[in-house]
Amino acid sequence: MANWYQDQLTNKNYLSPIGFVFILDKAPKASFLCQKAEIPTMSLGEVSIPTRGSVPIPIEGNMRYGDLTITFIVDEDLRNYMELHNWMRALGTPQNLTERQTWRDLRRFDPTQDPKYSDATLQILNNNNNVNFDVVFKSLFPSELTTLSFDVTGADNDYFTATCTFKYTIFEVRNNNSQTKR
């Protein structure tokens, strides 16, 4: 029989909501001024197996991942905003095909990775501001970028923040030794 004390938490420190660093290879300026990032939701779908005259039997199905959303401060020259804007434009409907090809050629960092996708890492820090674990997002691309609303009626000078939503294939939680968390 297991000792109840051995099953308790040994680390009594709490996870801080401000202890993170977001790294996005294809948009380093946006990731540098990142103010908010979330580990997305994940849900397990189910398949219902019908039975004769009885309640269907649910069994586990496919994993579904929510979108990754980040919020960042927009710099005065719009450089970080335009990183994401140009990435989305190249993926969507550019004005001409050479625009898409030029964008791809400028961003060929890794020959093994498709230039339209990027990997991202959300590093979660411990109470000493050291990396505790990484949340690694594979093959992500931006799907939505918020507006920048100019308004002279505001009382304070609040600086612009923009939110970008990303789609991706999968995310993994790894400890600081780059192994999957258990």
Confidence of residue 33 (pLDDT cuts 50, 70, 90): very high
Question: What's the DSSP call for residue 91?
Answer: H
Report how far apart the first and last C-alpha atoms of the chain are (Å, whole number): 22
- Which of 82-96, 97-111, 118-132 holds the top average pLDDT? 118-132
pLDDT at 98 > cutoff 60 = yes
Question: What's the DSSP call for residue 76?
Answer: T
- The mean pLDDT of the chain is 83
For 25-180, list the strands marked E by DSSP. Answer: 34-37, 42-49, 57-65, 68-73, 118-125, 131-145, 161-167, 170-175
Confidence of residue 178 (pLDDT cuts 50, 70, 90): very low
CATH number of 20-39+60-175: 2.30.110
> Higher pLDDT residue, 180 or 7?
7
> Higher pLDDT residue, 108 or 80?
80
Instruction: Report the predicted TM-score, pTM, of the whole model to 2 decimal places.
Output: 0.78
pLDDT at residue number 181:
52
Angle in degrees, 0-180, between the axes of helices 79-91 and 97-106, rounded to the nearest 10? 120
